[in-house]
Structure 1
Amino acid sequence: MVNELSGKVAVVTGGASGIGRAIVERYIAEGARVVVADVEREHAENLVRSCGPMSVFRYTDVGDVDQVAAMVDFAVESFGGLDVMCNNAGIPGKMHKSFLQDDLADFGKVMAVNLLGVMAGTRYAAAYMADHGGGSIVNMSSIGGVQAGGGVMTYRASKAAIIQFTKSAAIELEQYDIRVNCIAPGSIPTALLATSMTAMADERSDRLTRAVRASMQTDRPLERDGTPEDVAEAALYFAGDRARYLTGTVLPVDGGTTAGKPLRRKSAPVESAGAPMS
């Protein structure tokens, strides 16, 4: 379809880089005007300059509810409405060798960005949409919230909570013609995995990142890596009218990882028990 989002206004949190940037670019390519909400000011401003008048930047820490509310107001003031809210912003937290070594020092920050940010974005976007004919809300989880596993426990818990929240919000908001759906990416090469290893020495971090990526590849049926653009296609689908009969849906974009292991490939050895899945 061409211009699938023509005339629509969207907000993408965490839109300056990675999956968020791919979603911003895809939405704009389909005719939407987009607010790029992020704390990465330089990256976001560069993106907005490259996209022209179809986008604007709003500095937003989604862990701050007041900033999320102001971001929604800004979108309405800038473009005259809000039709699509993509709650994409997320952080991994620190990776530890085992859960017994995790002091949970980053619990509050991870939950504030990953879960509170999604809940606040949904709440304030829905408050506008409820009085203006409805809309679409797209929340970003992870296959780390679908499948149990070792490592990055706070991250996994936050992403699992997003799935439950999405389904619950879908039930409550249907009366306002607001659809709420969820994407669970997996095995998408972005900076998220490396960010979780910042406390490690560079050499060990690089080695572990490569090992985890190799393990992800052997654990999924499709051999090729996923891309941010693959996730952006799912975000476009949920945002547009093609998904008008879908709400409360969780869509893994993971090369089949959550379906099960491939039959004829051996698993690669991994140094750590687990890692962020996207």
Structure 2
Amino acid sequence: MSEELSGKVAIVTGGASGIGLAAVRLFATAGASKVIMADVNGATGEALAAEIGDNVVFQETDVSSETAVQALVDRAVNDFGGLHVMFNNAGISNRLFDSFLDDDLQDFRRTMDVNVLGVMLGTQRAARHMAAHGGGSIINTASIGGAHAGFGVMSYRASKAAVLHFSKCAAIDLAQHNIRVNVINPGHIRTKMASWSDTGMSEAGFNQLQSELDEINLSDQPIKRLGTPEDVAEAALYLASDRSRQVTGIVITVDGGVTAGDCVNHVKQIHDAQARAMKL
């Protein structure tokens, strides 16, 4: 068992599923004195926190709420003695359209509120404490969709591009306080958000869709292995630990090599797979 985070208090937003959950589990086993799992899914979060161990607690949090994010940081400081690692991982996608011309932009504001404002609030409120207490590590989750142009989910792509640029700016601004700000760019990682499943889809349809998505995603990925949330969590652990004490303003891309070359247009392939799955 690693002790890389021994004595440290960490917050992980979006911690009740996918990459966030993998990070909570890994941080807990890496010796963190307390990991606060923050998520909007209260029932699931409470159960998972209790399952993982005594050094994990849950707090229901909407990261787009200034009050909620401040309460999250306050809990870390007041109940557990400080805040050393802030992993701003919570994020949502927007609806998938064949073309931007068809996008009604109805979910634009919510996507930006969660993906951009949530990261900015988490960075700022964590940094205000860290600046007065010796520094710390802030890690923000972006996406290859924000770094690599392509079709579809334009609001999501724009939000993640904003996270990338904001994080580098924050790294420069906060370095004087010994606060490191870094970014992780996940690629095709199998999570609920990346499943593209529709409400009402049968189990058989869902399984078929996932199989086809795996094939689509691997088609333009040099390493022919599906990435996992645990792969991303390992990158987060490195950035949270003292191993990266000289590292700030960087982007770690966990994508199996996708952004090393051109990506294909997945949107029509995904829609076709959805349509076939809904017929089962």
* TM-score after normalising by structure 2: 0.90
Match in the other structure for 2:15: 15
Preserved CA contact (<8 Å) 2:150 2:265 = no
Output one character per residue of 1:226-271: Cα deviation in whole Å (capped at 9) or x when no partner. 1100000000000001111110001110011111269xxx999952
Whichever residue aligns with residue 59 of structure 1, its letter is: E
Match in the other structure for 1:108: 109
Query: Does residue 69 of structure 1 match 2:70?
Result: yes
Query: Does residue 2 of structure 1 match 2:2?
Result: yes
Unaligned runs of 5+ in 2: 272-280
Output one character per residue of 1:146-188: Cα deviation in whole Å (capped at 9) or x when no partner. 1000000000000111000000000000000000000000111
Shift of 1:212: 3.7
Match in the other structure for 1:229: 230
Match in the other structure for 1:220: 221
Shift of 1:197: 5.0
Q: Could you say what secondary structure the match of 2:261 adopts?
A: coil
Shift of 1:56: 1.0
Whichever residue aligns with residue 133 of structure 1, its letter is: G
Q: Distance in 1 between matches of 2:200 and 2:112?
A: 22
Specify whether residues 91 and 19 from structure 1 end up closer, same or farther in structure 2 by C-alpha distance, changes over 3 A only.
Answer: same
Whichever residue aligns with residue 260 of structure 2, its letter is: A
Q: Could you say what secondary structure the match of 1:258 adopts?
A: helix
Q: Distance in 1 between matches of 2:136 and 2:169?
A: 16
Match in the other structure for 2:25: 25
Match in the other structure for 1:254: 255
Shift of 1:211: 3.7
Percent same amino acid among aligned pairs? 52
Match in the other structure for 1:133: 134
Match in the other structure for 1:271: 269
Q: Distance in 2 between matches of 1:213 and 1:269?
A: 14
Q: Spell out structure 1 runs of 4+ moving beyond 4 A.
A: 199-210, 266-270
Q: Distance in 2 between matches of 1:142 and 1:73?
A: 28
Shift of 1:193: 2.1
Q: Distance in 2 between matches of 1:254 and 1:217?
A: 10
Output one character per residue of 1:82-120: Cα deviation in whole Å (capped at 9) or x when no partner. 000000000011111221111000001000011100000
Q: Distance in 1 between matches of 2:40 and 2:183?
A: 23
Specify whether residues 204 and 108 from structure 1 end up closer, same or farther in structure 2 by C-alpha distance, changes over 3 A only.
Answer: farther
Whichever residue aligns with residue 225 of structure 2, its letter is: R
* TM-score after normalising by structure 1: 0.90
Whichever residue aligns with residue 69 of structure 2, its letter is: V
Q: Distance in 1 between matches of 2:265 and 2:123?
A: 39
Query: Does residue 89 of structure 1 match 2:87?
Result: no
Match in the other structure for 1:276: none
Shift of 1:216: 1.5
Q: Could you say what secondary structure the match of 2:5 adopts?
A: coil
Shift of 1:204: 7.8
Any residues of structure 2 matched to 1:137-156 within 5 Å, and which?
Answer: 137-156=138-157
